[in-house]
């Protein structure tokens, strides 16, 4: 049944030429304050794809810091002289380390050199914290010479920073020192020589484990912290919800590579390595050195959520591996019975305790020991990612029953599968309703034509069933899978159906979030980066404009001439912000031509003399923000006059404009 304008409003106005004048009057029914807009309405979705964690958001600069990559434990390292791999180290989950010994000649050297993630990015005058777990097995002190080097320099010396570090304990011990770079360089290496005090070849023996290098200036100053510019970009979006850790990595290619949150908490030195599911997903974008160190783990995710002001939304494995990669192989998944699923259900219940439990519980105590005695106040929990049909439905039942019994306060999020419509999508929704989950996670990576046909997607949704979490979505054009302006304007237009239907849509997150320009597997993506810089895409600014102008309640906004489904035209939504006493109207023009628009605030006789505006100009269709030109398309602030209760304005072709006016 079509919902009334109080709940939905209408997106309208055809763009094809007709023989009569188009009426582009937008009527805002100011007296009909509608549905509450959830604080979680616009958020971010994080997955470790495109080197988004290690090599990205997680600020560690050393690759394979614990020598656990397999099958090559020296991946990311160059070894020279007398270096051997050992496997009886101090950390049971990361047992490997290297032993450096005398090279056997006074003019030969022993050492190791790390390449980082596509190089090590260093900034001039910035400080970096080098640390290593080390020991001298014979008890005789040795000196390490730790260097920042430019392997390919034409200067006389490769090293441009060098510090000595004395290792003097027979027992394993963490050694730390701060180094300062005297230059900005995107592709430095970290080199460690074994030396004596005279800087000649070393004569002693030293064991090294968990070799680490972090900028001291991380997000919020955390030692095991986030890269500051990337975390700041998330904060600047004003997200209401933060979903983690994925995505397909939750499932894994097989049970051994599924994401297990318990492996990601506790001392960072003893978090076991995991193969990243995206290492080998695409043979045309293959990265054999893509692993998860778990240095960015569930504690760090919860902490980041808190610092962003976003509700944490973890997603856990439902006892299934990736259905795409395993088809209908029942043996690939956990047995669909209470015994087979018990470890997975225990993980879910224990996670709730880790996030919310008191410090006298097992997992609440661990959270406190890690530095956060207060609970994280987790309210949402996703069970399963992008799974479908009876394989998923039958397993989910066990989780719903257990979580409802132990923690009825937790809101459960189920999946409608990988499709945005069709048979599997429909039966997914049917089952989610039967199981009475609280929200259903929908995914749609689609082209522009799909978005054009979906501008009223949520107008007809059942208002009595579970709410919608639009958990992964992005728009691209045929043959143009990158973040160009043309796709972003359709995302902006589509988001009017999210906002108009805020009574049923409670969350929405664009995906994927991050991508390294030298290490991506999937695009488009919201934020791109290299080792030194980052760039916010046009899609990022669309998301930010909605999130920062969310308001508190939907207000009906109707346009006089409808836009037929699948055509270009004007699209609109409006909200009221009771905290600022403002009406906020969003108008998107997807046509190529400027459109004269009259915005009438019905129910008010006179408003303030001007309205603040913010405009995103996407008229240069293929233009994108890049590292070289990060501000090619950014929102522009302005203002326009209000005549009584009417704003008379022009919205240019392929433009997204927000009008904000006091009551």
Whole-angstrom distance, CA of residue 186 vs CA of residue 345: 44
Provide CB contacts within 8 A for 422, sequence distance 6+: none
Whether 207 contacts 98, CB under 8 Å: yes
Angle, CA of 104, 107 and 108, to the nearest 5°: 50
Q: Beta strand pairing status for 97-101 and 206-215?
A: antiparallel
Q: How many CA atoms lie within 13 A of 344 on its CB side?
A: 30
Give CA separation, 552 vs 33, 270, 457, 504, in Å.
Answer: 10, 45, 22, 15
Provide CB contacts within 8 A for 459, sequence distance 6+: 2, 3, 8, 497, 500, 501
CB atoms within 10 A of CB 220: 12
**The two structure tokens encoding residue 301:** 């995710």
Q: Which helix (H) or strand (E) holds 286?
A: none
Whole-angstrom distance, CA of residue 482 vs CA of residue 340: 42
Whole-angstrom distance, CA of residue 423 vs CA of residue 298: 35
Identify the CA nearest to 83 among candidates 190, 199, 193, 163. 193
Whole-angstrom distance, CA of residue 396 vs CA of residue 402: 10
Identify the CA nearest to 549 among candidates 471, 657, 473. 657
Return the bridge partners of 127, or none.
180
Return the bridge partners of 316, or none.
383
**Secondary structure E strands in 16-171:** 25-29, 42-45, 77-80, 82-86, 97-101, 110-114, 120-122, 127-135, 142-149, 159-167
Give CA separation, 208 vs 146, 147, 190, 594, 613, in Å.
Answer: 13, 16, 14, 65, 58
Whether 243 contacts 313, CB under 8 Å: yes
Return the bridge partners of 582, or none.
577, 662
Return the bridge partners of 576, or none.
553, 583
Whole-angstrom distance, CA of residue 478 vs CA of residue 475: 10
Radius of gyration of the chain, Cα coordinates, nearest whole angstrom: 27
582 a catalytic residue: no
Identify the CA nearest to 438 among candidates 520, 508, 380. 380
Q: Which one of 115, 251, 269, 386 is the catalytic residue? A: 386
Q: Which helix (H) or strand (E) holds 445?
A: strand 439-447
Whole-angstrom distance, CA of residue 221 vs CA of residue 209: 24
Give CA 154 to chain center in angstroms.
Answer: 39
Positions marked catalytic: 386
């Amino acid at each position: 049944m079509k919902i009334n304008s109080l709940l939905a409003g209408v997106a309208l106005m055809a763009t094809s030429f007709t023989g009569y004048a188009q009426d582009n009057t937008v009527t805002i029914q100011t007296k009909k304050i509608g549905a509450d807009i959830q604080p979680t309405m616009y958020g971010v979705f994080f997955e470790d794809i495109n080197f988004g964690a290690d090599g990205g958001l997680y600020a560690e600069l050393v690759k394979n810091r614990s020598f656990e990559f397999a099958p090559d434990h020296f991946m990311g390292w160059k070894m020279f002289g007398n270096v051997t791999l050992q496997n009886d180290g101090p950390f049971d989950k990361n047992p490997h380390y290297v032993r450096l010994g005398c090279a056997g000649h006074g003019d030969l050297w022993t050492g190791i050199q790390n390449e980082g993630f596509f190089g090590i990015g260093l900034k001039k005058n910035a400080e970096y914290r080098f640390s290593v777990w080390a020991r001298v097995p014979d008890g005789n002190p040795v000196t390490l010479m730790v260097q920042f080097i430019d392997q390919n320099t034409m200067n006389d010396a490769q090293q441009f920073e060098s510090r000595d570090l004395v290792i003097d304990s027979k027992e394993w011990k963490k050694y730390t020192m701060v180094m300062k770079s005297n230059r900005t360089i995107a592709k430095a290496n970290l080199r460690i020589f074994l030396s004596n005090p005279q800087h000649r070849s070393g004569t002693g023996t030293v064991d090294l484990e968990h070799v680490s290098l972090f900028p001291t200036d991380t997000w919020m100053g955390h030692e095991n912290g986030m890269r500051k510019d990337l975390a700041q970009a998330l904060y600047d979006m004003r997200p209401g919800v933060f979903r983690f850790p994925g995505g397909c990595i939750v499932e894994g290619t097989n049970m051994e590579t599924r994401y297990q949150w318990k492996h990601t908490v506790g001392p960072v030195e003893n978090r076991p390595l995991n193969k990243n599911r995206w290492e080998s997903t695409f043979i045309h974008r293959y990265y054999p050195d893509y692993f998860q160190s778990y240095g960015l783990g569930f504690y760090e995710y919860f902490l980041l959520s808190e610092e962003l002001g976003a509700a944490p939304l973890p997603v856990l494995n439902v006892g299934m591996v990736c259905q795409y990669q395993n088809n209908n192989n029942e043996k690939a998944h956990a047995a669909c019975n209470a015994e087979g699923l018990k470890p997975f259900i225990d993980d879910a219940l224990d996670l709730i305790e880790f996030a919310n439990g008191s410090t006298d519980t097992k997992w609440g105590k661990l959270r406190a020991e890690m530095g956060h005695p207060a609970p994280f106040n987790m309210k949402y929990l996703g069970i399963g990612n992008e799974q479908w049909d009876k394989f998923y439905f039958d397993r989910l039942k066990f989780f719903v029953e257990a979580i409802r019994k132990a923690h009825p306060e937790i809101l459960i999020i189920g999946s409608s599968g990988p499709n945005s419509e069709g048979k599997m999508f429909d039966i997914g929704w049917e089952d989610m309703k039967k199981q009475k989950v609280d929200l259903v996670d929908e995914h749609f990576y689609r082209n522009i034509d799909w978005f054009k046909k979906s501008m009223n997607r949520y107008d007809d949704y059942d208002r009595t069933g579970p709410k919608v979490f639009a958990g992964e979505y992005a728009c691209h054009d045929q043959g143009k899978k990158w973040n160009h302006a043309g796709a972003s304007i359709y995302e902006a237009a589509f988001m009017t159906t999210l906002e108009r239907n805020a009574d049923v849509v409670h969350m929405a997150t664009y995906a994927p979030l991050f991508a390294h320009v030298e290490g991506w597997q999937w695009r488009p993506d919201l934020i791109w980066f290299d080792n030194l810089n980052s760039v916010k895409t046009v899609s990022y600014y669309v998301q930010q404009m909605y999130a920062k102008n969310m308001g508190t309640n939907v207000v009906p906004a109707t346009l006089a001439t409808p836009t037929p489904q699948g055509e270009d035209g004007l699209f609109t939504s409006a909200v009221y912000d009771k905290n600022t006493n403002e009406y906020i109207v969003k108008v998107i023009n997807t046509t190529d031509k400027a459109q004269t628009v009259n915005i009438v605030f019905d129910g008010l006789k006179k408003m303030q003399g001007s309205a603040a505006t913010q405009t995103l100009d996407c008229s240069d269709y293929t233009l994108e923000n890049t590292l070289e030109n990060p501000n090619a398309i950014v929102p522009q602030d302005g203002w326009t006059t209000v005549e009584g209760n009417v704003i008379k304005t022009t919205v240019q072709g392929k433009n997204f404009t927000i009008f904000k006016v006091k009551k």
